[in-house]
A = this chain, B = another copy of it.
Amino acid sequence: MDTTIAFAGSGLDRADHVRSDADKLAALMNWRARLLLLDGLDPVIGEDGALAWGTLADADPAAELVFLGLADDGRGCFAAVAPALVGSVAPPNPRLWQAMSTLPAGDLATYGGARSLVDWHARHRFCAKCGHGTVLAKGGWQRSCTNEACKGEHFPRVDPVTIMTVECQGKLLLGRQPRFPPRRFSALAGFVEPGESVEEAVAREIHEEAGVRVRDIMYVASQPWPFPSSLMIGCHAYADDPAITIDVTELDDAQWFTRDEVVYAMTGAEDGAFIAPPPFAVAHHLLKWWVARG
């Protein structure tokens, strides 16, 4: 496990057995319990540069509480689904990218998991089966339909996404999404769809976005990505034909970069052939892995 991957490595014990044990859960919701402080969906950073925590008394009395897990000292850790968040869709706040580079790794992971859960609760107030209201259940790891004739159970979503580098004749294929900062290139990516394996999704996405056919797909690393709830599955593949045909609805550009160009960009330099993805992105690790293989 590469614990240097951003958003992985939370120090909390998820304590799965507590979620379905109403007595244990209630016993943990005491005055010692910790509440993750949030500003909307953004983290609140303390003066020590770490996540700021309060007590359950700090939560809006109308909020639903999500059980995040147990701290080292056995205290229950919670996050609140505040009424103000309900139904909203919150894109990542630019200030957040700053916080990502300064928060301790374990804190960033705890925050990411909490953000995904709180965001999911805020956007899943109704039963997709029957349209009735739902209520939080199992410490926030389920929502249950209030319609007695339905009793639908709904679970937080995790959406698998493939993200991949492609190698051909010693060069690496990287692409630019329109929303990227100028000169930034990164690994191509796309959601895994129903009915395909990770390897099929990798091959399909590279062909759709860049017109390149690949072989020998291998897994490299994974990352939870809380915007809103992706599981990034990082892969590497090989191509025999470097001809590129870009899908202009997905990409601004796609190019093959030499090893020297990738090595230079990965130093953080901004005057090379391209600007590399930032350290908190799993794409950064894919490039680092490729460079290290030599």
Contact = CB atoms under 8 A, between A and B. Distances in A.
Interface stretch (A154-162, A171-179, A286-294): A154-162
Nearest to A232: B197
Nearest to A153: B89
Given A5-B197, A8-B197, A195-B7, A231 B123 contact: no
Contact of A128 (B128, B158, B223): B128
Most buried by B among A127, A194, A198: A194
Given A128-B126, A159-B158, A160-B158, A222 B195 contact: no
A158 B192 contact: yes
A275 interface: no
A10 B112 CA distance: 35
A1 B197 contact: yes
Size range of the chain A interface in the assembly:
35 or more
Contacts of A156: 193-194
A203 to B, nearest CB: 7
A231 to B, nearest CB: 5
A204 interface: yes
